[in-house]
Structure formats: C-alpha cells, structure tokens
Structure 1
C-alpha cells in the first residue's frame, strides 16, 4: 500500500487510509457524490485534509478506490452459481439463492453502486469498467449455464445464451437498484424476491420451476 508520493504506508498509515474510505462510504449514503468535500471526509475521520491528500489525489480518486474494492468483492456473486444445477428443484433453489445474494450485495453496497452507475452513464470509462466487472461476475456463469442446457437439448437452439444472461443481469441490477421504490408501488420485499427468482429460472431454463 503506497501513498500518493510513492512511499510505502505502514500499518498505522494503512489504518488511517481505510478509515478515510470508510467515512467516505458512510457519507455517500446520505450526501450526493459531488457534494462531498475532502475537508468533510477528513473531519469525519478525525484527521486533516493534508493527511487525506497523502493517500488520495481527490475525492473522486477515493471513490474509485471504494468502487474497485466493491468490484473485487463481487466475486462472491460468481460463487452463487459455481457448480450449481439448473435442473428440477435444485435449479429452483439456485435461482432463489442467486436472487437473494444479488439483492443483498446491492443493498450492502447501495451507495457506491449508485455512484458507479451514475458515472458510468455519464461516460466515465473507469467506472464503466468496474460496473462491467461486477455484472460479469453473474453474466459469465449465467451465459455458461444457458449454453450448457442448450447443448443438452433442454433450451431452444435458436436462443443466444449471452443475450439471455445479459437480459437477466440487467433486470436483476435494475430491480436491485430500485428496491426502495417498489414499496411505493405496493410491492413488499417478501413478494419481490419470489417473482425475480421465477423470472430468472424461466429465463435460464425456459420452463416453470419444479417446487
């Protein structure tokens, strides 16, 4: 772990750096990204702006670091699909656990994922690359799952596995980002997850689940 000027940060320095990131993450939950100032992050962390600048060039640089950490953690999403079956009751369980894990990941990282989505939509290639890394953690395994079922004759041969997977991942990420909004439509979380699980299972297998 190095400082902005290239020096290796010691244990205390690493702890200070992480505290700054933790404080910034907390602030992103309640403040618009562009309203967050270095002095506010430093004050919340109990240090000075000068210390902040030892570790990050600016707030955006620190936000990118948080986004990068989140992208690395998205490997847990791929684990939800590793070696899993999409046949029968096991497949229905796979769909449910994928939806549960995906929604939980988005909820835990809601603040930084909103910033990533915004910056990516504005054309920032750095944030778009991280966004794709997160989504690819699910898109890749889903594409392979559909292709495998297709090879076994269980899915229509004219279906494009990448198109199916991409559509499902887009659905999941859009719904996950809008979880709070569903309550305004009278949809409870307890009702939302089974619906997403059903749509995911149908999308991958083309069949109704065996429950």
Structure 2
C-alpha cells in the first residue's frame, strides 16, 4: 500500500489510512456527502489534514476507496445464487436467502451505496462502473440459473436470461435502497421480504414457489 507520493506505507501508516476511511464511513452515515470536509475527517480520526492528504487526494478519492472495498464485498453475494437449486422447496429457500442477503448487504453498506448511486445518477463514470460491478455479482449468477432451467425445458425458450436477471436485480436494488421509506407505503418489514422472494422466484422459474 502506497501513499499519494508513491512511498510504501508501513504498518502504522496503513492503520492510520484505514482509520481515516472508517471515520469517513461513519460520517457518511450521518452527513450529506457534499458536506464532509477533509478537516472534519482528520479531526475525527485524531490526526491532521496533512496526514489525510498523504493517503488520499481529496474526500472523493477516499470515498472511491471505500466504494472499491464495498464492491469487493459484493462478490460474496454470488454464493447466494451460484450452484443453488431453484426447484421444489429448495427453490423457495434460495429465493428467500437471496432476498435476505441482498437486503442485509444494502443495510450494512447503506451510506456508501447512497453516495455511489448519487455519483452514478450525476453521470460520474467512476461511480457508474462501481455500481455495475456491485450488481453484476448477482446478475450473472441469476442469468446462469435461468439459462440452466431453460436448458432443462423448465423455462420458456423465448425468455432472455440476462433480461430477467437484470430486471430482478434492478428491483432488489431499488427496494433495498428505500427500505427505510417502505413504511410510508404501509409496507411492514416482515411483509417486504416474502413479497420480494415471491417475485424473485416467479421471475427465475416462472412458477409459484413450493412452500
């Protein structure tokens, strides 16, 4: 791990760098992204702005680093789909666990994902690419699942696996990013997951789940 000027960071330097990232993550949870300043992050981490600039060019650079780490963590979502069965009761379990895992991932990383969504919406290609990478971890595996069922004659041959997978993941990400606001629609959290799982199962298999 290197500093901005190319020097190799020692163990202490790496710890300081991570502390700055952790403090920034905490601040993003309670403050608008645009309001976060280098001096505030440094003060919270118990260091100076000069130290911050040793590791990051600006707040945005540090935010992108956090987003990169989140993208790497998103790869674990693949295990919720890859190699899982979509037939019988096992299929209903797969759909439920995918929804549970996806929503939990979003809750855990809500602050940085909101910033990624904002940057992508504003047309920043760096954030757009990160968002695509985060969602691709699930989209590709879901598309493979639909294609496998299709090859076995269990899904209509005219269905596009990529289109179905992309639509389902777009739905999951949209709902996940609005979890706190669903109560305003009269939706209880206890009802949200089963509803999403039903839609996912129907989308992948074209059938009602066996419960």
Which residue is 2:103 aligned to? 103
CA distance, structure 2, for counterparts of residue 189 and residue 43 of structure 1: 37
CA distance, structure 2, for counterparts of residue 14 and residue 81 of structure 1: 35
| 1:203 Cα offset (Å) | 0.2
> Normalization by structure 1: what TM-score?
0.99
Which residue is 1:168 aligned to? 168
- Matched ranges for 1:118-157 at <5 A: 118-157=118-157
Deviation readout 1:167-209 (Å, 9 max, x if unpaired): 0000000000000000111211110000000000000000000
Is 1:37 equivalent to 2:37 in the alignment? yes
> Normalization by structure 2: what TM-score?
0.99
CA distance, structure 2, for counterparts of residue 42 and residue 79 of structure 1: 37
Which residue is 1:183 aligned to? 183
CA RMSD of aligned residues (A): 0.5
- In the TM superposition, structure 1's runs of 4+ consecutive aligned residues that sit over 2 Å from their partners are none
Which residue is 1:80 aligned to? 80
Which residue is 1:10 aligned to? 10
- The number of equivalent residue pairs is 211
Gapped regions of structure 2 (runs ≥ 5):
none
| 1:76 Cα offset (Å) | 1.1
Gapped regions of structure 1 (runs ≥ 5):
none
Deviation readout 1:72-122 (Å, 9 max, x if unpaired): 000110011121000010010000000000000000000000000010111
CA distance, structure 2, for counterparts of residue 49 and residue 193 of structure 1: 44
